[in-house]
Amino acid sequence: MSQQLDLIINENHDKLNKIDLHILGYIRNNLGYCTNANLADIAKGCNASAATVLRTAKKLGFSGFSEFKYFLKSDVANKENSQVDTVDMMKTDVAQTIKMFSQNVLINEIYSILDKAEHIYAYGTGLGQRLMLQEFSRCMLNLNKHVILIPASGEFKIISKHIKKNDLVIIASWSGNVDKYRDSIVTLGLTDVPVISITNVSNNELSSIAKYNLYFQNSFKNTDLNINRSSYLTLHLALHLLYDGFVEYVSKKKD
């Protein structure tokens, strides 16, 4: 099974239909075979046409089948670092995420906006991000705060036209690339809606547009394809720190 393939599927989940997911499921379950098979053989194996398999590969961002197959071979050939190295890297990422959160000079202003917002909307750019925001939304119910989860970029475009400046939008993204929802960001900017970005630490377009930024560090990265190849542990941590800090803010306000 390919961890990197799973993650690139998650990053592009909005583009995929049931046929795409069936094809990718076949490739995941027969990875060793698919790294050496040709396009026609893979198409036959998953009961689809060669053109359909090619379209699926392109939906994941590959220029063609050859690039997709090279990605699969590289994924198999390049084994993960040793368990000790992986744990050490994760420890560093966790420590840096906590440090960046604790040093955020606008955090009290973020808590205040969370507290005053009439409606809170949250959009995750991939499946993993949406799952982390779903857990954050569940926690916020403890404070009688309802976080409205936006399921995909199409819905974000529609909803953004009705969000007011007294509302709040939280966007969680691994890369900070806004190509899929640029129009929505522009619409929010025109109405002065506060936006909190939560991204992997880097210079990225989303964090440069949003007034408020939270960062997590994730060093598990495929630099060739610019995708996350690990869990969303530190994104979850950043959201958990935001929730815990907000709980404390609300408690102090009552006192």
Tokens of 123: 């959009």
This model's pTM is above 0.85:
no
Query: In this predicted structure, what is the pLDDT of residue 66?
Result: 85
pLDDT of residue 243: 98
On the question of pLDDT at 219 being above 80, the answer is: no
pLDDT for the residue numbered 70: 82
In this model, does residue 30 exceed pLDDT 60?
yes
Write out pLDDT tens, residues 33-73. Answer: 888 899 999 999 999 999 999 999 999 888 888 888 888 87
Task: Report residue 110's pLDDT band, with 50, 70 and 90 as the boundaries.
Answer: very high
At residue 82, the pLDDT reads 42
Cβ neighbours of residue 52 closer than 8 Å, sequence gap 6 or more: 19, 23, 43
pLDDT tens-digit map of 138-173: 999 999 999 999 999 999 999 999 999 999 999 999
The C-alpha atoms of residue 174 and residue 11 are separated, in whole angstroms, by: 9
- pLDDT reading at 231 higher than 80: no
* pLDDT beyond 70 at 107: yes
Q: Among residues of the chain, what percentage have pLDDT more than 70?
A: 90
pLDDT at residue number 3: 60
> What's the whole-number average pLDDT of the chain?
87
